[in-house]
Chain A
Amino acid sequence: MSDSSELKAQIKRMLVENLMLQVTPDQIGDDQPLFGPGGLGLDSVDALQLVVALEKNYGLKIPDPELARTILKDVNSIAAAVTLHSPQTG
Chain B
Amino acid sequence: MSQRIILITGANGTLGRAMAQVFLTESPDDVVWLGVHRRREHADALAAANPARCRVVTLDVTDAASWKAAVAGILAAHSRLDVLVNNAGTYDDALLAQMRPESWRDVLAVNLDGVFHGCQAVMPAMISQRGGRIVNIASLSAMFSPAGQTNYSAAKAGVVALTRSLAKEVARLGITVNAVCPGYVDTEALAGMDAAARQRALSQIPMRRFGRPEEVAEAVRFLACAQAGYITGSALKIDGGIF
Interface string of A51-68 (1 = CB under 8 A from B): 011011000000000000
Contact residues in A for B124 (Cβ distance below 8 Å): 52, 55
Q: Does B169 contact A (CB under 8 A)?
A: yes
Determine whether the beta carbon of B128 is less than 8 Å from that of A45. Answer: no
Count of B interface residues, CB-CB < 8 Å? 8
Q: Which secondary structure dominates where chain B touches chain A? A: helix
In chain B between 39 and 75, which residues have their CB closer than 8 angstroms to a CB of chain A? Answer: none
A-B contact count (CB 8 A): 15
Cα–Cα distance between A48 and B123 once the two chains are bound (Å)? 10
Contacting residues, chain B, for A48 (C-beta < 8 A): 123, 127, 169
Complex CA–CA separation, A56 to B79 (angstroms):
12
C-alpha gap A53/B123 in the complex (Å)? 12
- Any chain A CB within 8 A of the CB of B172? yes
Collect the chain B residues with CB atoms within 8 Å of residue A45's CB: 169-170, 172-173
Question: Does A49 interact with chain B (Cβ within 8 Å)?
Answer: yes
The residue among B127, B172, B173 with the most chain A CB atoms within 10 A of its own CB is B127
Contacts of B172 in A (CB 8 A): 45
Return chain A residues, CB-CB under 8 Å to B128.
52-53, 56
B114-131 Cβ-contact flags toward A at 8 Å (1 or 0): 000000000110011000
- Complexed CA–CA distance, A4 and B82 (Å): 36
Which residues of B are found within 8 Å of A52, using beta-carbon distances? Answer: 124, 127-128
Contact indicator per residue, chain A 31-75, by CB within 8 Å of chain B (1) or not (0): 000000000000001001100110110000000000000000000
What distance in Å separates the Cβ of B143 from its nearest Cβ neighbour in chain A? 29
The smallest beta-carbon distance between B219 and chain A, in angstroms, is: 28
Residue of A nearest to B127 (CB): A52
Query: Which residues from chain A contact B169 at a C-beta distance below 8 Å?
Result: 45, 48
Contacts of B173 in A (CB 8 A): 45, 49
Restricting to B117-152, which residues have a CB under 8 Å from any CB of A? 123-124, 127-128
Which B positions have Cβ atoms within 8 angstroms of A? 123-124, 127-128, 169-170, 172-173
